Amino acid sequence: MSANNVKPFTVFVEGNIGSGKTTFLEHFRQFEDITLLTEPVEMWRDLKGCNLLELMYKDPEKWAMTFQSYVSLTMLDMHRRPAPTPVKLMERSLFSARYCFVEHIMRNNTLHPAQFAVLDEWFRFIQHNIPIDADLIVYLKTSPSIVYQRIKKRARSEEQCVPLSYIEELHRLHEDWLINRIHAECPAPVLVLDADLDLSQITDEYKRSEHQILRKAV
């Protein structure tokens, strides 16, 4: 809750791996009255000394279920975390976890149908029983070939084995969820930004979203 007990205007920042979600959140650090919640990747890399992200990429059939169930817990924690400001900006959400990542590993049979059913039941239970506020989704839209190059360049050790085909499939799932509105519920209006632009041009593109995000803060 914000200081005057009014719910914060809640924004999810979504987009493919390497689309610049963290950079987008950093752009908003200059403004007062915004709570920024970056994705808990570091928690996924170190849960009591275990690197779940690495385990998941090395042996998805064995670890994807465990990894996605921990992602759900950490995302739910972010959704439920109170914001003492009029605006709350979050990197990703329970929705992209379910509609993009879990959807992908269900479709390519990495998950056993029973494992998928358990993750899906958790998601439905949370949706029906725990309020998840969502007022706007900023979709950082990219081309798979561009984010693939960025992922290679940033060289996060766990992601070295990621093939272009995986990035293409995640792109399609984001598009089906946020643009084509196929199969999945979209919990808020979507603002689409061109996140293919390189760092020298992207600030102007990010600025296009300031009005919609900050108007609730003034």
| Active site (catalytic) residues | 91
- C-beta of 216: minimal distance to ligand DCP in Å? 24
- C-beta of 113: minimal distance to ligand DCP in Å? 19
Rounded to whole angstroms, the Cα distance separating 10 from 86 reads: 9
What end-to-end distance do the CA atoms of the chain give, in Å? 16
Contact range with ligand DCP by CB under 6 A, out of 10-18, 79-87, 120-128, 199-207: 10-18
Residue 71 sits in the site that holds ligand DCP (CB under 6 A): yes
Asked if 140 contacts 191 with a C-beta cutoff of 8 angstroms, the reply is no
Residue 92 sits in the site that holds ligand DCP (CB under 6 A): yes
- C-beta of 196: minimal distance to ligand DCP in Å? 13
Rounded to whole angstroms, the Cα distance separating 47 from 49 reads: 5
Asked if 71 contacts 126 with a C-beta cutoff of 8 angstroms, the reply is no
Burial of 165 (0-12, 13-18, 19+ CB in 10 A): exposed
Residues 13-42 that bind ligand DCP (CB under 6 A): 15, 17-22, 39, 41
Contact range with ligand DCP by CB under 6 A, out of 12-20, 107-115, 181-189, 209-217: 12-20
- C-beta of 150: minimal distance to ligand DCP in Å? 7
- C-beta of 89: minimal distance to ligand DCP in Å? 13
* 155, amino acid identity: A
The two three-digit tokens of residue 25, written as one number = 């959140």
Give the CA count within 13 Å in the CB-facing half-sphere of 112: 8
The two three-digit tokens of residue 125, written as one number = 């239970």
Question: Judged by CB, which is closer to ligand DCP: 1, or 26?
Answer: 26
Contact map string, positions 44 to 63, toward ligand DCP, x by CB under 6 A: ---------x----------
Asked if 214 contacts 87 with a C-beta cutoff of 8 angstroms, the reply is yes
Residues 126-165 that bind ligand DCP (CB under 6 A): 159
Size of the site for ligand DCP (CB under 6 A): 16
The two three-digit tokens of residue 148, written as one number = 């693939």
The CA distances from residue 49 to 42, 54, 218, in Å, are 11, 12, 43
Interacting residues with ligand DCP (CB under 6 A) = 15, 17-22, 39, 41, 53, 68, 71, 92, 97, 101, 159
